[in-house]
Chains A and B, each alone.
Chain A
Amino acid sequence: MIHDYIVVGSGATGAQAAQTLVEGNGKVAMLDVGITDDNYKSLVPDADFVSIRERDLFQHSYFLGTEFEGIPWGGIKVGAQLTPPRRFMTRDAERLIPLSSDSFHPMESLAYGGLGNGWGLGCFVFSGPELERIGLDPSAMQEAYEVVSHRIGISAVRDDAASYSIGALRHFQDGLKIDTNCRMLHEAYHVKREILNAKGFFMGQPPMALLTQDLGERNKVAYKDMEFYTDHDMSAYRPWMTIDTLKANNRFTYVPNCLVASFTDKHEHVEVVAYKTDSDQKEVFKCRRLLLASGVLGTARIVLRSFIGRNVRLPIICNRYCYIPCIHLRMVGKPVERLKTSLAQLVLFHDQDRTHADVAVASLFSYRSLLLFRLVKEAPLNFADARTILQYLQSSFIIAGIHHPEASSTSKFVELVEDHNSRTHDKLHVHYAMSTDETVKMNKRECSYMSALRTLRCFPIKRIHPGSGSSIHYAGTLPFSREDVPYTLAPNGRLHGTRNVYVADGSGFRYLPAKGLTFSLMANAHLVAQNTLVR
């Protein structure tokens, strides 16, 4: 049997690409490992965080994990921020898609819905200069942003930072309520606005894939502060919701337990080799067009294997990330509302020269639902007194997560190396080294951020760098190119050297703006899928 289209992966990009193809009357098979959470979904009650804390005798089972895996210990690790109910996202990744590196520690997912299960929901529109630097057409992307916004539902506010956050986006729902802590910070920004704007800082609410109005079967947000643990009312968009809907369509087939290893372009059709993860059997699928959407690292593995690309180094880009816990002095001793969200409530953009071409972003979070004990661990005090002190200060905590824009360089690359222990006899090796100039620039920018936060009477306690790979924003392994060069993508997403293989994830992005890229990935996936329909 030859499928019209095969989409590999069920994450944010695979889901959007598949939806576009199905809506365009294509017949689509989605190959996916598709790991699901069998453990926690039924354990987490449909109630708000404080009510749960006050009443549920079994809360330890999902806050700490049935095996107490949610009690972190030791150094800072990528993925350590995942709560037990979200940990299924990374299950089996180490075994099935091995990766080695001393300098880069990414998070990969083989879950149903991919990394989208833990997505922070930020939906930023990239500016014209950013899109051009990436290699994308700004006008086509503008239309694609609108399509995706209609599909997933975005809440946003046209405020001081709108030109950085939503640009010219026309369709969105009302903005989210923000809690007292962030509201007071926002008020402080308005008082100090001229000073901060002069330094290139702009604050506003982030556009979020979190509903403030019902959309289909999904309910508007009830501010239960449980976003890190459950998707009960489906107010937060997750890619599995799209796949669940597509499954009801007879033009769509979901094939789980499939780890795609490689493809061969036979000109008239494409053969896709996959391993069944439940039986370890090899299986070959055929399609007229193949869309790879298995994430930047996953797609790199498949492409390198298919082109027998040993000793080939592909570039990789990943936003550098740091987070800064701060004490917001105005909030010390102030009460916290019961109903709020756990997600980023404000963003502070830094655009020194105001060209929209080199923008950093800090997402600002209040702290509660990740529990006090995680904060207590970071204090160099005995646990008993640290608990007393931090319980009091808790309502005034602001966590600023800073993302830096990133470009590729020869010292950041991935390659496929032999590994006889793996099913595919290989593993991905990543080398990621920043230049001195990059480090100096990043440090300078973080110091500017700390100064801006102090201006708002929000005092940084320390700066934490979880290391390269921790931002979970990856791109650039198969950069867009107008020339027919191996290991690059044509502007329409077609993999050079093939006729019918397209890449719908972020592999083509030549540059990574600091703003969260998921919304742009989804918009690009929609465009790539449209391009395959057009041909």
Chain B
Amino acid sequence: MSDENGSFFAEADLLGRYLISIPPNNRVKLLYAKAMSTITIQMDPVDQRVWNMIMHYPLTLRIIDSGLAVIRPNSAVRRKIYTMLAILETSPEYCDYFLPQAFRPLYVVNVAFAGARAALAALIGLVVLRLIGIKGQ
């Protein structure tokens, strides 16, 4: 495995765990690596700084993504996450994370929790981005 592919695999693992809470399989990681080589997402210095921070401190991913969704929705960092989301969605192993599901009371609680968590993460994300000097596009 080349260094570049190794780094894409690490990214894919991190993004997969973030998006669906489980590590993605190797097929998905390979697809992500292929997508990154094909699309060649250009990162400006601001995006690169944010991306480096995420790779060093993976737990910051949710709050940074939340903050960027508000002030830099088209950032290259979000494009990477978005690409992984699209690949996961079109992988049969993970289709249950995307197709409409039957109603369950616990599911509603889960959704309500996700909503509250998203709002809180956005607030914290905005503060963190401001602290590290990231401004809107």
Q: What residues of chain A have their CB less than 8 Å away from a CB belonging to chain B?
A: 50, 53-57, 59-60, 63-64, 67-68, 71, 73-74, 333-336, 368, 371-373, 376-377, 379-389, 391-392, 394-395
Question: Which of B5-13, B47-55, B93-101 lies on the face that meets chain A?
Answer: B93-101
Q: B interface vs A, CB < 8 Å?
A: 18-20, 27, 31, 35, 38-39, 62-63, 65-66, 69-70, 73-74, 78-79, 81-83, 85-87, 89-92, 95, 97-103, 107-108, 110-111, 114-115, 117-118, 121-122, 125
Top 10 A-B pairs ranked by shortest CB distance? A385-B118, A333-B103, A382-B65, A388-B114, A382-B66, A60-B90, A395-B100, A385-B114, A381-B118, A392-B111
Known A-B contacts A60-B87, A382-B118; A336 and B69 likewise in contact (beta carbons under 8 Å): no
* Bound CA span A320–B72, Å: 29
Cβ–Cβ contact B103 & A335, under 8 A: yes
Chain B residues positioned under 8 Å from A383 (CB to CB): 19, 65, 69, 78, 81-82, 85
Closest B residue by C-beta to A391: B98
Given the interface pairs A383-B85, A387-B19, the reply to whether A54 lies near B95 with Cβ below 8 Å is yes
Q: Is the CB of A385 within 8 A of B100?
A: no
Contact between A382 and B98, CB atoms less than 8 A apart: no
**A382 interface neighbour in B62, B90, B107, Cβ under 8 Å:** B62
Residues of B within 8 A of A55 (CB): 92
Cα distance A278–B105 when bound, in Å? 61
Contact A391/B73 with A53-B92, A57-B92, A382-B122 known, Cβ cut-off 8 Å? no
Q: Within 8 Å CB of B63, what residues of A? A: 382
Q: How far is the CB of A62 from chain B (nearest CB, A)?
A: 9
Main secondary structure of the interface of B (DSSP, over half): helix
17 contacts between A and B (CB under 8 A): A57-B91, A59-B92, A68-B39, A71-B82, A333-B108, A334-B103, A372-B98, A380-B73, A380-B122, A382-B66, A383-B69, A383-B81, A384-B20, A387-B97, A389-B115, A392-B107, A394-B100
Looking at the complex, which one of A64, A335, A381 makes contact with B69 (CB distance below 8 Å)?
A381
Instruction: Give complex CA distance A431, B7 in Å.
Output: 48
In the bound complex, residues from chain A placing their C-beta under 8 Å from that of B38 are 67-68
Knowing that A57-B27, A333-B107, A395-B100 touch, tell me 12 more A-B residue pairs with CB under 8 angstroms.
A53-B98, A54-B95, A59-B91, A68-B39, A71-B35, A379-B69, A382-B125, A383-B65, A387-B20, A387-B97, A389-B115, A392-B111
Asked if A74 and B118 sit within 8 Å, CB to CB, the answer is no
Are A376 and B85 touching (Cβ within 8 A)?
yes
CB distance B114 to A389 under 8 Å?
Answer: yes
A385 pairs with B90, CB closer than 8 A: no
